[in-house]
Amino acid sequence: MDDVTESKVLLAEYDRLKEEQKTRIGFRDNLLYFTLAAVTAVVAVTVQSGQAGLLLSAPAICLILGWTYLVNDEKISAIGCYVRDRLGPRLGDLASARGAMFGWEVYHRDVAGRAVRKRLQTAVDLFTYLILPMVCTVAFWCSPTVHPLLVLTSLAQTLTLAALGWQFLRRAEG
């Protein structure tokens, strides 16, 4: 049986964390496509049926999927931070390495254009999870048959969307 050493345990932890990170990245990125498809379907069904109230399902969809997107994005970043700030230095100490372990975790954060890409990604996220559902909400408000209960629902959704948008902006700063 192999000897269990601290470095082997830490490397196994690194492998598991990177696997989780990879899975979360794929899931998070697919949420964007799924959200766009779902909102497109809502708009198509609304146009076909002529029932403007159906447009209010778009904000609900975007709130749920947007929050899920944010949670996964936060976990992806947390894994990278943990590897960079905790796991790498511990392994470096064990290996008596001079320099950073897992150099990619630091290197890719300093690549030229990263800040611009982060801002563009935030714009895409805000468009997908805030602007699109608000367009649907405004279209509902402008429809000829607006029911008071649905207006209250749409106002609550608008406030919640604003909170979600604020969370996206807050995360973009970090």
Q: What is the DSSP string of 117-132?
A: HHHHHHHHHHIIIIIH
Q: Say which residue, 98 or 18, is predicted with more confidence.
A: 18
Query: Measured at the alpha carbon of residue 171, what is the angle toward residues 167 and 174, in degrees to the nearest 5?
Result: 150
Whats the size of the chain, residue-wise?
174
The domains of the chain are located at 6-173
Q: What's the rounded mean pLDDT across residues 150-173?
A: 95
Question: pLDDT by residue (tens digit) across 54-63?
Answer: 999 999 999 9
Gap between the Cα atoms of 44 and 99, Å rounded: 56
DSSP 2: P
Gap between the Cα atoms of 42 and 36, Å rounded: 10
The confidence score (pLDDT) of residue 2 equals 61
The confidence score (pLDDT) of residue 91 equals 84
Separation of CA 145 from chain center: 35
Q: What's the rounded mean pLDDT across residues 113-139?
A: 94
The confidence score (pLDDT) of residue 20 equals 96
pTM of the model: 0.86
Query: Measured at the alpha carbon of residue 61, what is the angle toward residues 59 and 131, in degrees to the nearest 5?
Result: 40
What is the torsional sign of CA 93, 94, 98, 101?
Answer: negative
Q: Say which residue, 139 or 3, is predicted with more confidence.
A: 139
The confidence score (pLDDT) of residue 174 equals 59
